[in-house]
Structures are given as C-alpha cells and as structure tokens.
C-alpha cells in the first residue's frame, strides 16, 4: 500500500501581491499567471513567480506533464477546498537540484504513475478475472445437470407415493423434502453464478477504463466529467486520513495489482485514451 503525507493549508492570506502566481485547469501557459489570467501547468507558474514567492492552485486538477524542476524558493499550495496533484511519470514528480532553496508544498498530492502502471494493472486484473470466470463457468456448466437429475428423481418419487404407506411413505416424504431443499439450493446457486459472471464482465470493463485513464492521465483528467473524476478517484484512492492537529493528510492508494476496481452499474461516458 502506498501512503502519501501532504501538509494541509488551513488558512491562506487574502491579499494579493506580485510575487504570487496562479494555476487553474481552465488556464493557459500563454497567460501571465495572474488571478484573472491563470496559467495551466507548474513550469509556467514557476517561471512567472519571484524567488520566495507563492503559486496558488485555484481548483483541483493535475498540473504537470513531466518532472517539475524547481530552482528557486517557492511555496506551492492549493486553496482551501482544492487539491492539486503532480504525477511522477516513470521518474520524479518534482526535482529540486539547486542548493539552498526552500520549497513548501501544501494541499498537493504526489501521485506515482510509472509508465508501465496502466499495462501492469490491466494485465493483473485480466489474469485474475480469467481465473474467476473459468471457475464460475465450470460451475455453471455442472449446475443445470444437477438440477435436472434432482427434478427427475423428485418426479419419480412422486409417482410412487400413491403405492406406499407407513414407514415407506414417511421415508419417501423425507427424501422428497430433501430433494426439494437441494433443488432450491442448486437453483439459487445458479442464479448467483449468473450474477457473479455479469459482475465480472462489468469489472473487466471498469478495469479497462481505469487503465486507459491512467495511461494518459494528464490529458484525460481535464476532459472527465465531475462524476467520472470521482469514479476514477474511487478506483485508485483507498482512503484519505486528515490529521488536523498535525496539519497533515495521508492519502492511501489502492494497489490495483491486488484489488479489483468496483464495477459501476450506471451508464457513464466513454473515454478514449
């Protein structure tokens, strides 16, 4: 399990100064990185901010497409209610190679995203789904025969009931009751197997969708609806623990090579990675 510790910003100064640059998912790196014209990615905001200044992230989104090189002292923070992310794509998320600089990160989560993650997730999920599907298909193949055999035996037993009495009748009644119970269990299990197979199909679709999103996260995140952003976060984030006294937030990531994403039942948008 991967755990990230991020310092929380509990309050922020309201005054605006020239040392402060701004980022937003609707911004553009051609902008001057001001409040009214924010930039889109961290490198542009770093180029615009003065040494010792601040970069304010106005909305929750990802703000890099490559490792971010920091060569000056700076505070990078997301405003209260927002959470910025920086991806580590087959390397470091942030590089600080200049001696003596001081960098503070607040309300910013570092997300590891090695280049092979999407492929590893999809391959691992596919292997486990195939194993589960094989077992369920084997069981589904056997159950109809068992149900038919029980039904035949029950019919045959019913046909003989009129010709028996006493102890034989009592034993026949007990057997008939047992056959009915076993038949009910087999029919219920068959219905359960059918539901589980359907769930596996939905899980396979959900896993493929998550893998495609991870494969091109920086592009896809910006075009996802709020509903599908939540859907993706629920698939990759296990839980978030906030420690207000310590001003810290711990983000526990799901190990997608171990846990299967939960399938969704409602129709959601199709995203092409």
The span from the CA of 75 to the CA of 57, in Å, is 11
pLDDT digits (tens, 9 = 90+) for 205-221: 887 888 778 777 767 77
The 3 state secondary structure assigned to 185-243 is HHHHHHHHHHHHHHHHHHHHHHHHHHHHHHHCHHHHHHHCCHHHHHHHHHHHEEEEEEE
Q: Which residues contact 118 (CB under 8 A, 6 or more apart)?
A: 211, 212, 214, 215
- The whole-number pLDDT of residue 262 equals 56
- Which of the two residues, 106 and 9, has the higher pLDDT score? 106
Residue 12 has pLDDT above 60, yes or no: no
Residue 139 banded pLDDT, cuts 50, 70, 90: very high
pLDDT at 142: 95
Does residue 194 surpass a pLDDT of 80?
yes
């Amino acid at each position: 399990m991967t755990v990230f510790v991020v310092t929380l910003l509990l309050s922020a100064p309201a005054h605006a100064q020239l040392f402060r640059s701004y980022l937003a998912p609707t911004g553009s790196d051609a902008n001057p990185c001001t409040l009214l014209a924010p930039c889109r990615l961290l490198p542009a905001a770093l180029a615009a901010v003065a040494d010792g200044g601040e970069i304010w992230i106005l909305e929750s989104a990802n703000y890099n497409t490559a490792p971010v090189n920091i060569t000056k002292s700076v505070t990078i923070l997301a405003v209260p209610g927002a959470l910025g992310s920086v991806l580590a794509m087959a390397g470091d998320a942030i590089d600080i190679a200049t001696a003596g600089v001081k960098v503070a990160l607040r309300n910013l989560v570092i997300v590891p995203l090695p280049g092979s993650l999407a492929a590893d997730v999809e391959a691992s999920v596919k292997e486990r789904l195939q194993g589960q599907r094989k077992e369920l298909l084997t069981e589904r193949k056997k159950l109809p025969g068992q149900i038919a055999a029980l039904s035949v035996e029950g019919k045959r037993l019913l046909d003989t009931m009129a010709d028996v009495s006493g102890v034989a009748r009592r034993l026949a009644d007990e057997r008939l009751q047992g056959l009915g119970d076993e038949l009910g269990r087999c029919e219920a299990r068959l219905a359960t197997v059918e539901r589980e197979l359907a769930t596996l199909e939905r899980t396979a679709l959900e896993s493929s969708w998550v893998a495609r999103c991870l494969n091109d996260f920086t592009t896809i995140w910006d075009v996802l609806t709020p509903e599908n952003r939540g859907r993706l976060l629920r698939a990759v984030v296990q839980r978030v623990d906030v420690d207000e006294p310590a001003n810290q937030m711990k983000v526990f990531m799901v190990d997608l090579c171990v846990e299967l994403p939960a399938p969704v039942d409602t129709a959601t948008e199709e995203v092409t990675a």
